[in-house]
Structure 1
């Protein structure tokens, strides 16, 4: 009997350890295939060039007349830079995700591990639809597939990272390190004069102020307020210059614009002593995060609900399939109102199940039998790109008009589109806050 128990324990331990051992084995193979100065290189290839007995992919090296391998572009960046991330499939490079490449040094760590040779530290924030289950180019720890690493820092081989060409290119070498703006140049205008003249005063001030920034500054970093967003998964919000340009041009909005607007709304609540509103960080509940790890999303919702148990509403901007909508968690009535600026038969079952489970996990005075989900009448966007602006306007109206009512599903009287003045007011409020508090 004792021997059988021992054997059962050993079998269970081996089963639990096998995935970790397999991952460590893959790591070791990658490291051995890419170590500097330990290979017999083919003629004309210098030590330090990424090589492998079974190449990860055809690596696009460009050689000068002296046969020196040019530096990978991602190795020269000085600031976090948007990028595409690829894996190798049948000898071809296939883009599987989008993210942010970060500058690296010899001391850079990723999840407390040193960088492998010719790898870079990247933040993965979105996966290409249909490629969620592709294997990572170099899996490690508990991560194996692309979807496993959404919302995390990971290592990525440099030759499979492509910088986003839509962003200003990094200066590889500054001619003057004194800080004189003339050495690096200044930002080109975010918008041309024709667009500028139609912007509101606060938007104009912001656009003109940003022209004084160095040309190699692609983003503005803000501290992420844990008391507002209720997590420590990252300490910063990176507002890219391109994101601000999109706001000025009325293009589709990135999550950083929504996050900054939540900061503004929180300040507005404090100013007018509105105590009934709480917020969810949109990066922590987006559909790609749900697909990666629904358990973490549920745990986050539970934490937010516990922290905001005395609030009337918790505003949760939700992103799914390139579309923004607003979920309003009603704590007192144990219900959820959802405001969709472009109503359709879209499936929100994953986020619905997560919030329902969170509601049932938060301690209450009585048992929760059913969580009522209420589609709300609300202004509907006229085009296919305004969803982010409408979600910000919904939140603004709730904070300024409806923060004390009980029945939010009847608050918005019409589904007629917002006027251009309504949307411009939101852009002006955003620009005024960002100019005064963040620039």
Structure 2
């Protein structure tokens, strides 16, 4: 070996010794290893493109590559991270990725999930005098280039003036870009001739002296309230009345088209629209269900800025800005409405059609309020409420993603079913709203207190099994806790390998160490059930409802969870009959008890 090669090898060895985390790809590079990870279903971002059947698209990023590369195979062939320090970084990375999926963390330039997981470092991006924006070059931002010294005598006043100018230019260009994008979307929908200078034009809602927010009435804070809806006219900076609806108070866990309610917004049913504003864009469009204009969203739910909502004490008529027509907010339809499309309605079973008929003939559009028993769900004091909205039930009948209220009601139905059987078997239940990923992220200590209370109360009443529906990252899984054995069975219809790491896992572990270990650390064993595997992307809610029913039925027949774990093994999807049985059970329970 030549002296030059020896010197190069020495430098490479010294550089490698500085690595804190070592990959386990062997001789393969990332591209070759990534193909193996995807083929084995291990790569985190591998997903199927719903736009075309049978096609798949995978998003690659350095964080997911790093996460996979840190895993090695143990003696049993399972993927593990052998280094404890690397394991801690990997767990932090997963936490930041979950925050990113929930919209609570937005990567900026090189500061992605992996950057923060490894620990925030000093910024070595150089002496940057600014960062460009949309179509902003050097000359546009800072003027003509000069050869002067870097030690400029530019005053702070000139710098602030420069910043203000840049901000104004960026604002104008971004507004123009947003207008062009919205016009393109409306043109694709067949809506032409739309004028953004009219009352249909909107801007970002802000709280100001001219547009003061209307707080939700305290006397109606527990129920819906009739309201008038406004949009902001960019031309005059005045609020323009566009229609009327019913606003619902902010309740933890309530979602709108599977999206959490944004801060400063309310969930509103859009009941009526003034004629001249039918084509106005929504304040919060929902591209996933093709809701872009007010006309698209009439009769369904939307998110509306609180500062653009005015509450009224009783039903009233709205007069258009041009005085053309009056429209009653609570005008009774001439014929019975339908909550679902005609095609879906024809496909429903007799029991589901009966429930639909009762709901469609209701005079009120308000939610169905279901009482959640504090003892059953282990609440601290008072009973809770679940609000079944028309949107929730429409999504249930259409086979879409299920909201938390649907699952809460099914839990009550399962307890009622168990009590009606000739059995001494008993099960405990946990509220999905109290343990969902959003609650774990925002209030982990509250979740630990709730888990502690649920386990303690169950043990005190002789209950050894807790059933816990859990929602994280737009996916439902079912957790079955065997308290005395320290085992948690996870029913995940995605059947990922390795088993999904959930935000609630360390919270369960912490509670078990405190109350189940007899003074010593007791480790929880997580077991992934070989349960039915879903083939689509939205039916996970129906799957965990079926899993709940199967667990209740097996326990009632005298089987323990070990027998359930070994006997209920399957690799196929649920049949339409299996899902249909669950849908009918839910529909009958709601029709008999709440309608």
TM value normalised by structure 2: 0.47
- C-alpha distance in 2 between matches for 1:384 and 1:83: 18
Mapped contact 1:203–1:427 kept (Cα < 8 A): yes
Q: Select the residue among 423, 428, 434 that pairs with 2:584.
A: 428
Q: Which residue of 1 aligns with 2:361?
A: 212
Aligned to 1:173: 316
| Equivalent-residue separation in structure 2 for 1:243 and 1:102 (angstroms) | 14
Q: Does 1:332 align with 2:332?
A: no
Query: Which residue does 1:323 correspond to in 2?
Result: 475
Q: Alpha carbons of 1:303 and 1:73: their partners in 2 closer, same or farther (altered >3 Å)?
A: farther
**Structure 2 matches for 1:183-332, cutoff 5 A?**
184-185=332-333, 188-214=337-363, 217-231=365-379, 235-272=384-421, 273-309=423-459, 310-332=462-484
* Separation of aligned partners in 2, 1:351 and 1:343: 18
How far off its partner does 1:295 sit? 0.6
Q: How much has 1:233 moved relative to structure 2?
A: 7.7
**Partners of 1:78 and 1:370 in 2: how far apart?**
46
CA RMSD of aligned residues (A): 3.9
User: Which has more radius of gyration?
Assistant: 2
Aligned mate of 2:246, from 52, 56, 77? 77
Q: Distance in 2 between matches of 1:392 and 1:208?
A: 23
Cα distance change of structure 1 residues 69 and 193 upon mapping to structure 2, 3 Å threshold: closer
Alignment of 1:82-97 (within 5 A): 96-97=262-263
Counterparts of 1:436 and 1:327, CA distance in 2 = 28
Cα 1:412/1:158, change in 2 over 3 Å: same
Alpha-carbon offset, residue 378 of structure 1: 0.6
How far apart are the structure 1 equivalents of 2:570 and 2:264? 38
| Alignment match, 1:37 | none
State the alpha-carbon separation in 1 of the partners of residues 484 and 264 from structure 2: 39
Retained in 1: the 8 A contact 2:467–2:481?
yes
Distance 1:207 1:61, change over 3 A: same
Shift of 1:208: 0.7
Query: 1:383 is matched with which residue: 513, 530, 536?
Result: 536
Residue 235 of structure 1 deviates from its aligned partner by: 2.5
User: Are residues 393 and 50 of structure 1, via their aligned partners in 2, closer, same or farther at CA, if it must alter by over 3 Å?
Assistant: closer
1:395 aligns with 2:551: no
Q: Residues 73 and 225 (structure 1 numbering): CA distance in 2 closer, same or farther, change over 3 Å?
A: farther
Shift of 1:229: 1.3
8 Å CA contact retained: 1:316, 1:327? yes
In the aligned structure 2, how far is the partner of 1:383 from the partner of 1:360? Answer: 38
Residues 252/159 of structure 1: CA separation in 2 closer, same or farther (3 Å cut):
same
Q: Partner of 2:307 in structure 1?
A: 159
Would the aligned equivalents of 1:83 and 1:99 in 2 still touch at CA under 8 Å? no
Deviations 1:109-130 (A, max 9, x none): xxxxxxxxxxxxxxxxxxxxxx
Number of residue-to-residue matches in the alignment: 312
Question: How far is the alpha carbon of 1:200 from its aligned partner?
Answer: 1.5
1:190 shift after superposition: 1.4
For residue 129 of structure 1, what is the aligned residue in structure 2? none
Instruction: State the shift of 1:362 in Å.
Output: 2.4
CA distance, structure 2, for counterparts of residue 417 and residue 98 of structure 1: 41
Give yes or no for the alignment of 1:358 onto 2:511: yes
More relative contact order in 1 or in 2 (CA 8 Å, sep 6+)? 1
Q: Deviations over 1:84-103 (max 9, x none)?
A: 8xxxxxxxxxx945975599
8 Å Cα contact 1:317/1:391 also seen in 2: yes
Distance of aligned partners of 1:171 and 1:208 in 2 relative to their CA distance in 1, 3 Å threshold: farther
The offset of 1:422, in angstroms, is 0.2
Query: For residues 50 and 328 of structure 1, what CA distance do their matches in structure 2 show?
Result: 46
Q: Mapping of 1:12-27 within 5 angstroms? A: none
Provide the rounded CA distance (Å) in 1 between the counterparts of 2:472 and 2:510: 20
The SS at the match of 1:290 is helix
Q: Would the aligned equivalents of 2:371 and 2:383 in 1 still touch at CA under 8 Å?
A: no
Change in Cα spacing, 1:245 to 1:83, as seen in structure 2 (3 Å) is closer
- Deviation of the 1:384 alpha carbon: 1.0
Distance (whole Å) between structure 2 residues aligned to residue 326 and residue 274 of structure 1: 23
- CA–CA separation in structure 1 for the residues paired with 2:417 and 2:468: 17
CA distance in 2, matches of 1:396, 1:384: 21
The Cα shift of 1:77 comes to: 3.2
> Deviations 1:127-173 (Å, cap 9, x if unpaired)?
xxxxxxxxxxxxxxxxxxxxxxxxxxxxx9722779xxxxxxx9952
Q: Distance in 1 between matches of 2:535 and 2:374?
A: 35
